[in-house]
Amino acid sequence: MTTALDSSTQQRVDKWLSGNYDAATKESIQHLIDSGNTTELTDSFYRDLEFGTGGLRGILGVGSNRMNRYTVGAATQGLSNYINAAFPGEDVSVAIAHDSRRMSPEFAQLAADIFSANGIKVYLFSSLRPTPELSFAIRQLGCQSGLVITASHNPPEYNGYKVYWNDGGQVVSPHDKGIIAEVNKVTSVDEIKFLGIPERITMIDEVIDAPYVERVKSNAVNPDVIKRQANLNIVYTPIHGTGITLVPRVLDALGFNNVHIVEQQATPDGNFPTVKSPNPEERAAMQLALDLALSINADLVMATDPDADRVGAGARNHHGEFELLNGNQMASLIIYYLLNAWKDAGKLTGKEFVAKTIVTTDLIDQMCKNYGVTCYNTLTGFKYIAEVIRELEGKEKFIGGGEESYGYLIGDFVRDKDAIASCAIIAELTAYAKDQGKSLFDMLMAMYMENGFYYEALVSLTKKGKSGAEEIQQMMADFRANPPKSIAGSPVVRVDDYKALTRLDAQSGTSTAIEAGKMGIESSNVLQFFTEDGTKVSARPSGTEPKIKFYVSVREPLASKEAFDETYAQLKAKVQRVIDELQLT
């Protein structure tokens, strides 16, 4: 028995069947109808694919809720209209890059054509390039905006569309809402100017590659150490993505001459044939790299996601086994290394700062406090960190920053997370440790002994489709209506609600406002619970995936290296207790 579509979904289906869409698209829709596949029809048409504050992300396919020629076209037409209105009478330009995913080159060319048809000059990378290089290109070329076609580390069936502004950061207020309004005004496929003007499109590659590599090299704080440890044994995999274009080149430019590429994953391929998901946050995605690292007794293993803005890394622990470091650990190590290096070089003047997100480890806050460096906390998303950098430009000096989801930034010449520069600094700090007869893991333990052992875990629940989105919203509503009174035996003393922008003192019952309009802070569907003993739990629906994420953070002192295993076990057990108590499964 075939279930009828609801009226709004049926209207969208009819619009596509009767409108000025290509024959193949209409045939695909008709096939879904004829086969009675109402579930797929509903998911494809129950809404228009939302152009969010960062752009688009969705499953490839036909339909208003899918990534295809028409949804990408409407987004680009709306963005073109906004750019032209924002810079009236000016010669405006945009830069475009794309990753290795299916349809990424086609969508990049499509966007270039539409921009050019709207009188906008286009700088289009001739082949796949990392997202951070797109951010760099916007600033290098003086563009008003930019675009990268990528779905980051999502599964192969996804693609996406990320928009940047003239500072090289992803769009933030007021431009994000302004662009969304213009995109939403494009209600007919006939409004999209598909016919490109080739004279307005310039292909770019080495003209950006070379200066970008030089700027990454300039991040090095101990070049003499790199010279002494040039033979550092490094394994690297791009997981079939864009990292292959620049990570090996940058490591070579720095002087590392013993880099081993995982050949099975070296060729860009949007099907990601060797992994279930091209996400370096997942151990399975790095398994081939770990196998190679074990076989050649490597010092360091690194993996970048498809658009090379995130990096996963691992090293041998104190038992001689390869252990992958999570995003909080690596972000902390990078900041720990940079703070020490800046202090040793006499560069800490009181005008320096670090930036991170509110769900990233508070260990970074603690270290910054110890060094007299300001640590700014923003909402989740590197666009907010970029906003802080822009607001403080010329006033304070950015050292580095990061977020728990494996994204880090060193220096301010890029305004998004940068796995290319991160691979370079991770290799350098590993070389620095080895130069002192230590491992990367030894450095991690030293950091914990100095500042406390912070341990974090992420629980990510996938809820697909319309029903999943409704379930996620209900979970957040339930937490707001019935917040926990205690977590793992410790009373909840504070509740931060970033949707309402309120901070509740749970003991006194008084509520104060979280200041909106501060750098990197605005209304967002995030809840945080803080306990008396320093445990923190954050709940946040993903803005780019059909997921709700729970971030759990606990801490204890670390007395010695010898106490590491026991303390680690205690922290892991406590995290599991939190997960069980709050039913985060």
Options 64, 93, 104, 152, the catalytic residue = 152
The Cα–Cα gap between 530 and 427 comes to: 35
User: In this structure, which long-range contacts are made by residues 312-318, counting pairs with CB atoms below 8 Å and at least 24 apart in sequence?
Assistant: 312/280, 312/281, 312/285, 312/286, 312/406, 313/426, 313/440, 314/286, 314/290, 315/430, 315/439, 315/440, 315/441, 316/439, 316/441, 317/439, 317/441, 318/439, 318/441, 318/442, 318/445, 318/561, 318/564
Q: What are phi and psi of 2, to 5 degrees?
A: -90, 130
Q: Is 173 a catalytic residue?
A: no
| 8 Å CB contact between 355 and 347 | no
Look at the alpha carbons of 514, 520, 522, 524 in this order and tell me if their dihedral is positive or negative: negative
User: What are 278's two structure tokens?
Assistant: 């091209």
CA dihedral 374, 379, 385, 390 (to 10 degrees): -90
From the centroid of its chain, how far is CA 108? 20
User: What are 147's two structure tokens?
Assistant: 């675009």
User: What are 199's two structure tokens?
Assistant: 């004279």
Name residues whose C-beta falls within 8 Å of residue 518's C-beta, 6 or more positions apart in sequence: none
Name residues whose C-beta falls within 8 Å of residue 188's C-beta, 6 or more positions apart in sequence: 19
Query: If DSSP codes are grouped into helix, strand and coil, which group holds residue 486?
Result: strand
Closest C-alpha among 33, 236, 484, 186 to residue 494 = 484
- Cβ burial of 307 (10 Å; 0-12, 13-18, 19+) is buried
Name residues whose C-beta falls within 8 Å of residue 17's C-beta, 6 or more positions apart in sequence: 26, 29, 30
Look at the alpha carbons of 28, 34, 35, 37 in this order and tell me if their dihedral is positive or negative: positive
Query: If DSSP codes are grouped into helix, strand and coil, which group holds residue 267?
Result: coil
DSSP codes, 130-153: -HHHHHHHHHHHT-SEEEEE--TT
Q: What are phi and psi of 286, to 5 degrees?
A: -105, 5
Q: Which helix (H) or strand (E) holds 290?
A: helix 287-295
Name residues whose C-beta falls within 8 Å of residue 232's C-beta, 6 or more positions apart in sequence: 256, 258, 299, 300, 427, 430, 431, 434
The Cα–Cα gap between 232 and 141 comes to: 35
| 8 Å CB contact between 529 and 495 | yes
Closest C-alpha among 157, 80, 168, 82 to residue 117 = 80
174 preceded by a cis bond (ω within 30 of 0): yes
CB atoms within 10 A of CB 303: 35
Where does 173-258 have alpha helices with state H?
A: 175-185, 206-217, 223-228, 247-254
Active site residues: 152
